[in-house]
Amino acid sequence: MKYFKIFVAIVAIAVIGATDAYAQNLDERIEALYNAGEYDALEACLDSTLALDSKNVLAWLYKALVYIDGFEHSGALICYDKVLAIEPENATAWNNKGTTYLYMGRYEEAIKCFDRALAIAPDDAIAWHNKGLSKYHLERYEEALECFDKALAIEPKDDTWVYKGNVYNELKRYEEALESYSRALELAPDEHKAYIQMNIDETLEDVKNATSPTFPSE
């Protein structure tokens, strides 16, 4: 079972709108609670923030992430629509909305969102990676390779190399698959290496099976 990873774009703390010390401190508190996994406190903070300012983009974005972490995808979509009603050109919201559709298996809708994100931020490696995943699941393998190549040209990541290898496996281009996995190993943190090695071992087994002679049954 070859593994993959979907990337969710986390909002940078330096956002437009944090124009005073209070707003900046609030943004930092929201980010700190999310990173610490203190979701009850975070939800209370987000709800009180949105009760005072229903157009707080950062609060809506983090509320969506809480929904995603709880597998409540429809709630996340509502939050991203709230953001996009306020900031139609928010590339993070478009990417994460697409990511939510990707989790839900709604790949065509995901691609449309990633295209919107990339129209705003064409050098967004996360959006290219996730668009490639959507193409992969639709079995549009050559198009998926193009997306992964775009992502890797911007920001090489072991996950993207792994998925490029998986595409080559589907195309039975095993030598290129093994090269991709090797590139992934060079970049991977220790906790990813066992999964990548598993992909290499499976590919070598595929090569063995593809080259083993078959004999007609008597």
Mean pLDDT of all residues in 83-94: 95
Q: Which residues contact 111 (CB under 8 A, 6 or more apart)?
A: 98, 131, 134, 135
- CATH label of the domain that carries residue 169: 1.25.40
CATH number at residue 61: 1.25.40.10
Domain that holds residue 52: 17-88
Q: Is residue 47 part of a domain?
A: yes
Please say which residue of 62, 88, 114 terminates a domain.
88
Indicate whether this model's pTM tops 0.85. Answer: no
Record the tokens describing residue 209, joined without a space.
């099976």
Last residue of a domain, one of 88, 104, 135: 88
Residue 56 lies in a domain: yes
| Cα dist from 59 to 13, 50, 85, 108, 180, whole Å | 11, 7, 14, 28, 38
Residue 106 lies in a domain: no
pLDDT higher than threshold 80 for residue 2: no
Q: Any idea which residue has 């996360």 for tokens?
A: 126
Between 209 and 96, the more confident residue is 96
Q: Is residue 160 part of a domain?
A: yes
Whether residue 75 is contained in a domain is answered as: yes
65 assigned to some structural domain: yes
pLDDT of residue 120: 95
- Report if residue 121 sits inside a domain: no
> Does 7 fall in a domain?
no
Summarize the confidence of residues 162-178 as an average pLDDT: 94
Helices (H), the chain: 21-36, 39-52, 57-69, 73-86, 91-103, 107-120, 125-137, 141-154, 158-170, 174-187, 190-211
Indicate the residue among 55, 88, 121 that finishes a domain: 88
Per-residue pLDDT at 1 = 40
Number of folded domains that form the chain: 2
| Residue-level pLDDT at 42 | 85
